A and B are shown apart, each in its own frame.
Chain A
Amino acid sequence: MSETILKVEQVSKRFPGVQALDKVSFELYKGEVHALVGENGAGKSTLMKILSGVYRPDEGAIAYKGKEVHFQNSRESSAAGIGIIYQELNLVPHLTVAQNIYIGREPRTWLGYIDDKKMNADSTKILKMLNLDIDPATRLNKLSISKQQMVEIAKALSKDSEVLIMDEPTSALTESEIDELFKVIHSLRDRGVGIIYISHRLDELKHIVDRITIFRDGHYITTSEYASISMEEIINKMVGRKLENMFPERHNVPTQKKLLEVRHIVHGSILKDISFDLYEGEILGIAGLMGAGRSELARAIFGADPITSGEIIRDGKRLKIRSPSDAIKNGIAYLSENRKEEGLAVKMRLDQNVTMANMAEVSKSFGIISTAQELKATKTYVDELHIRTPSLMQVINNLSGGNQQKVVVAKWLFRDSRILIFDEPTRGIDVGAKYAIYELIERLASRGVGVIVISSELPEIIGMTDRVLVLHEGSLMATLRTKDTTQEEILNYAAGLNAQPAHSNR
């Protein structure tokens, strides 16, 4: 069963400022499920995009079925038989299942119009092959997410794919739906399809994976039979990186004064009874995998999404937070992970963005804006946060990602926020600018601000926080002292492998 179908040799890919892949190799057999794991930024997605023809490698070779291939675009790779299923489904909700499977290559009758009969019959055949009981004439949006995912798989198979790449296929599925998916994966494997399985959920690998390859920071680390490697080894190899010098020295000292008490927050099934405290001068991390409910927790505290129940207490008083403006009045700020979508008005100017959350401060009577005060305030923060800009009135779109992030911070500092929630503060920011953001977070905490940092990057959590909350599927699994914990322990909790007893019954 060890006939090689796909072989990647010494492939490198460089993007401006980042070596995304550095001479990595990877080999996929026919009829195996091969897990590819690594932290964010390890290079998994880049490799997938090279295999599917979206990117072209700078160097190295890819051999498919024994022949060297150079895919110019995703159409070529899919025609050759490499199917990819992205985390977000690429389907058209208003078309039927069959129309989705054959989109862009519908069978025609001799008159040139679409042969619905043949399309439906062929679709039925493929769906049967996957043991799926779906009527091909059903509209796609009538199906559950897991069924839609099956349709995506059927679509890939209808192109006679011999290699199937699945990127975090279970992130949107429930337990029972995952079982369903695994059954399909097993039957595909038995039919000789080679499957590359990318997942952050290490706990689920044991059900389906034959071999595992680990990447770290764009480097190939190792490949092993899954049966002969332990979870500890996997995590060690994923993480194994020195943390010195990536983070600034820490001066902030958390006090005993509670800045914020969050009690029994429930939001449908997304957040399940979460309670924690935030102290003055503390940097509190929130760790967890995708879908663990980290951003949702932040948005709930900030009033951006409604909550089912729960209390938020500040200075002994229960806050009534129904909208972001209520939270802001109480000194809480949320810096969204989607800077451009939710944090900034990118078409507007730097000064206008800095003052956006606190216009009253730069207004005279009758709501008339004082341009002089506005510029003065902006200047203060441009200097303090070292925002690199040619002018105080630069349009945000023209600033770099790191500087844009600083503008968001400036906005909330100008609002005099006492509690800052950073959601993935360094996402999409180059390494140099990351350090500046870390410094800034440290400085804020030293000043007595309570900072919450949500991060997918465990080194960031370890390097920057005093305590860390670990979430798993909406539940708080553990509250850990950062000094006394390790990335391995956090990952264990985040993967749902175990829970702190104190939290399990709360």
Chain B
Amino acid sequence: MDNATLQPASTEAKAKIPAIRRGVKISLDKLVIFGAFVLLFALFSVTARNFFTLRNTLTLALQTSTITLMGIGVTFTIITGGIDLSIGSVVALTGTIAVMAANVGIPIWMSMVLGLLTGVLCGLCSGLLITGLKLPPFIATLGMMMVVRGVVLTITNAMSKPAPDAFGDLGNDTLFRINQQFPGIAYPVFIMILAAIIFGFFLRKTRMGRYTYAVGSNEEASRLSGIKVSRVKLVAYMISGFCAALTGIILASRMVTSQPNGGMSYELNAIASSVIGGTSLMGGIGTIAGAVVGSFIIGVLGVGLTMQGASYFVQQIAIGLVVIGSVAVDQLRYKKK
């Protein structure tokens, strides 16, 4: 055999194609969903009266903020190859805990922190069931969904309780209010934007974020690379619980009551938004930006169809078709590769 021919000859020349090309490719991938969102938005702007107004856009952002927050959280668990079905129940529990705390005289901010801690704790429980008892994430979080719901119904006797007025500030006040036409941007929208930026940065640019992808892409290879897989998963579920808690507190604040029955089946909308945004249920693939756009597609569909006079039932059909369609498109694209 001729050794000379075996030597890789001109690899150096090939090896340094700059990063620009990748940037273009990724944004192309993203553009598909973002394009769908813009298209949808434009469609409703044309067909539904009053859809394309500043006021309506702000309302849309406010309404969508809750599902976006939950979508951001659940995206972490899905990227690790798991799922979090418990977040709808966590929304109810955390909001209720915060309201109850405020009602016994604990300062509002502290009762909200208490709610957030409760959410993180719920995530920790799910995570421990998954990493410690080695339960499949679907089962662990399905169990947690029922347990947490049961807990919140038990401690409240399934009754909504009003909160102190000041508790409602977070959900109902706005920043930069000018007049009737521009009522300002609601706090929840700011929280959503902040969460998207922080968690997006965390996932893309930090070690723990990278490990999240690595664990979902190949758990055994990650373990053999020295990554502490259990810790990565725990963090992902705690983030999911934290985001659900943010949602729960915002919802309780907007209603200025505790909602032990609230948040039901929200987890499914959150998972849908993440999946529409390109997160793979097989793990290893997904972005925060995708989850945000995905949740806004759901939000636009909801608001737009309502304004066109379509019933809630029709909206459900539309959202279902979008979930199926977006994943089908992904599948076709991967097959081609």
Asked if B225 and A357 make an inter-chain contact with CB atoms under 8 angstroms apart, the answer reads yes
Which of A348, A360, A392, A431 is in CB contact (< 8 Å) with B217?
A348
Asked if A456 is an interface residue, CB under 8 A from chain B, the answer is no
Asked if B268 is an interface residue, CB under 8 A from chain A, the answer is no
Residues of A within 8 A of B (CB-CB), count = 49
Given the complex, which residues of A lie within 8 Å of B227, measured CB to CB?
325, 356
Asked if A220 is an interface residue, CB under 8 A from chain B, the answer is no
Asked if A390 and B226 make an inter-chain contact with CB atoms under 8 angstroms apart, the answer reads no
Give the most central of A334, A383, A393: most B CB within 10 Å.
Answer: A393
Asked if A432 is an interface residue, CB under 8 A from chain B, the answer is yes
Given the complex, which residues of A lie within 8 Å of B3, measured CB to CB?
245, 248, 435
A298-345 CB contacts (< 8 Å) to partner B:
302, 304, 323-325, 327-329, 334, 336, 341-345
Q: A246-B1, A432-B5 are in contact. Are A346 and B226 (CB under 8 A)?
A: no
Asked if A393 and B224 make an inter-chain contact with CB atoms under 8 angstroms apart, the answer reads no
Asked if B224 and A346 make an inter-chain contact with CB atoms under 8 angstroms apart, the answer reads no
Asked if A343 and B224 make an inter-chain contact with CB atoms under 8 angstroms apart, the answer reads yes
Asked if A245 and B1 make an inter-chain contact with CB atoms under 8 angstroms apart, the answer reads yes
Asked if B217 and A347 make an inter-chain contact with CB atoms under 8 angstroms apart, the answer reads yes
Q: A304-B224, A352-B210 are in contact. Are A392 and B15 (CB under 8 A)?
A: yes
State the Cβ distance, B337 to closest chain A Cβ, in Å.
Answer: 8
Which of B7, B207, B218 is in CB contact (< 8 Å) with A345?
B218
Given the complex, which residues of A lie within 8 Å of B5, measured CB to CB?
432
Which of A345, A360, A363, A388 is in CB contact (< 8 Å) with B214?
A345
A368 to B22, CA, bound (A): 21
A500 to B70, CA, bound (A): 65
Asked if B11 and A388 make an inter-chain contact with CB atoms under 8 angstroms apart, the answer reads yes
Asked if B222 and A382 make an inter-chain contact with CB atoms under 8 angstroms apart, the answer reads no
State the Cβ distance, A301 to closest chain B Cβ, in Å.
Answer: 13
Given the complex, which residues of A lie within 8 Å of B336, measured CB to CB?
none
Q: A348-B284, A352-B210, A369-B206 are in contact. Are A411 and B6 (CB under 8 A)?
A: no
Given the complex, which residues of A lie within 8 Å of B207, measured CB to CB?
359-360, 363, 367-369
Asked if B22 and A391 make an inter-chain contact with CB atoms under 8 angstroms apart, the answer reads yes
Asked if B178 is an interface residue, CB under 8 A from chain A, the answer is no
Q: A359-B210, A369-B207 are in contact. Are A383 and B8 (CB under 8 A)?
A: no
Given the complex, which residues of B lie within 8 Å of A15, measured CB to CB?
none
**B284's closest neighbor in chain A, by CB?**
A347
Which of A334, A342, A366, A392 is in CB contact (< 8 Å) with B206?
A366
State the Cβ distance, A460 to closest chain B Cβ, in Å.
Answer: 15
A83 to B106, CA, bound (A): 76
Given the complex, which residues of A lie within 8 Å of B191, measured CB to CB?
none
B19-54 interface code vs A (CB 8 A; 1 in, 0 out): 101100000000000000000000000000000000
A348 to B285, CA, bound (A): 9
Given the complex, which residues of B lie within 8 Å of A302, measured CB to CB?
224
List the interface of chain B (C-beta within 8 A of A): 1, 3, 5-8, 11-12, 14-17, 19, 21-22, 205-208, 210-211, 213-214, 217-218, 220-228, 284-285
The 8 nearest A-B residue pairs measured at CB: A345-B217, A325-B226, A328-B226, A386-B8, A367-B207, A357-B225, A345-B218, A393-B22
Q: Can you list 19 residue pairs at the A/B interface with Cβ under 8 Å? A: A304-B224, A323-B223, A328-B226, A342-B221, A345-B218, A346-B217, A347-B217, A348-B214, A356-B221, A356-B222, A356-B227, A363-B207, A368-B205, A379-B15, A389-B15, A391-B17, A392-B15, A431-B1, A436-B8
